[in-house]
């Protein structure tokens, strides 16, 4: 059987599939050519990340497909229920990239807290002529230790982010409409383990308390953070969105930055991805990455192996 990994797959995933007798194709086929390619090559398994869309027409017109796999968590680029109604297996890897996303969030938080996103731009330009001026400009950083981390969405990624916050000495508060409490187990280098039980509270309570706020929610119709939500927050809050573009109202975010309500913010995802609004790209209060939350070598290895294991379990 043939597997088309249209958005790529790690070598560890390829090795596992090939060892089980599958032919793995890593050619990236353009969306408009995908249907013909699948049919011409009798593809049984289509693996995607976020770039390739798997909609009803593709599902209807590709009878050889048995499994659709998403390397990652969110499956909003796949018509999941429709595919399952048609008898296809739809799989993903919800746990594989949790820690990678969490680390990126804290990379942004530490950078924003100490103005690294700005000083890394300014030092090459002015470091020799304006060293003292830059030192004064960036001398009012803040520490994360002792601050309150607010987590909106307390599933796997939200919990992984909370663990790092606890390790950094932060107080963690969380909101999730589907989770009342979670047990977080922190593992250390010497084998010791410490457990923390976090009970979720209301969204409003999280917004009122958070010094640093991070979102880990799926794509949805309405904004999770809109103008009214910004008004509830502490003045000078630092925010990160590494979840999905469209869960934060970007226009309201810029206004909140201009008013001082939000001190600085990090965006890994954007409403108009892959062409973010220019006012975001040029805003000096924003730390920006191009949707790289799950893009670590370790996460991609885990994703590839998990997909391979599920495919082999389903198809034999």
Query: What residues are labeled active site?
Result: 244, 273, 291
Relative to beta strand 193-199, strand 181-187 is antiparallel
Query: Is 232 buried (19+), middle (13-18) or exposed (0-12) by CB count in 10 A?
Result: middle
> What is the CB-side half-sphere exposure of residue 89 using CA atoms within 13 A?
16
Label residue 35 exposed, middle or buried (CB < 10 Å: 0-12, 13-18, 19+).
middle
- Tokens 């909106």 appear where? 152
């Amino acid at each position: 059987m043939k597997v088309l990994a249209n958005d790529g797959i790690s070598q560890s995933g390829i090795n596992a599939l090939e060892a089980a007798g599958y032919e793995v194709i890593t050619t990236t086929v353009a969306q408009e050519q995908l249907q013909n390619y699948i049919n011409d090559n009798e593809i049984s398994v289509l693996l995607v990340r976020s770039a390739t869309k798997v909609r009803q027409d593709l599902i209807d017109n590709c009878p050889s497909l048995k499994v659709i796999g998403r390397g990652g968590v969110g499956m909003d680029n796949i018509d999941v229920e429709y595919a399952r109604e048609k008898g296809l297996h739809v799989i993903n890897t919800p746990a594989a990239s949790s820690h990678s996303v969490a680390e990126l969030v804290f990379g942004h938080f530490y950078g924003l807290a100490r103005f690294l996103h700005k000083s890394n731009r300014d030092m090459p330009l002015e470091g020799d002529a304006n060293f003292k001026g830059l030192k004064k400009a960036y001398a009012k950083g803040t520490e994360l230790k002792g601050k309150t981390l607010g987590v909106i969405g307390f599933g796997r990624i939200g919990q992984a982010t909370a663990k790092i916050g606890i390790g950094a000495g932060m107080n963690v508060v969380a909101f999730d409409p589907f989770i009342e409490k979670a047990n977080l187990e922190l593992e250390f280098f010497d084998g010791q383990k410490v457990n923390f039980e976090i009970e979720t509270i209301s969204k409003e309570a999280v917004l009122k308390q958070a010094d640093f706020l991070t979102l880990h929610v799926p794509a949805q119709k309405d904004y999770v953070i809109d103008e009214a939500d910004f008004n509830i927050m502490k003045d000078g809050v630092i925010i990160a969105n590494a979840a999905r573009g469209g869960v934060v109202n970007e226009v309201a975010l810029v206004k909140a930055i201009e008013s001082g309500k939000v001190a600085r913010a990090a965006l890994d995802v954007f409403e108009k991805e892959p062409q973010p609004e220019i006012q975001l790209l040029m805003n000096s209060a924003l730390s920006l990455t191009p949707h790289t939350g799950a893009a670590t070598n370790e996460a991609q290895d885990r994703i590839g192996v998990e997909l391979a294991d599920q495919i082999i379990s389903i198809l034999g």
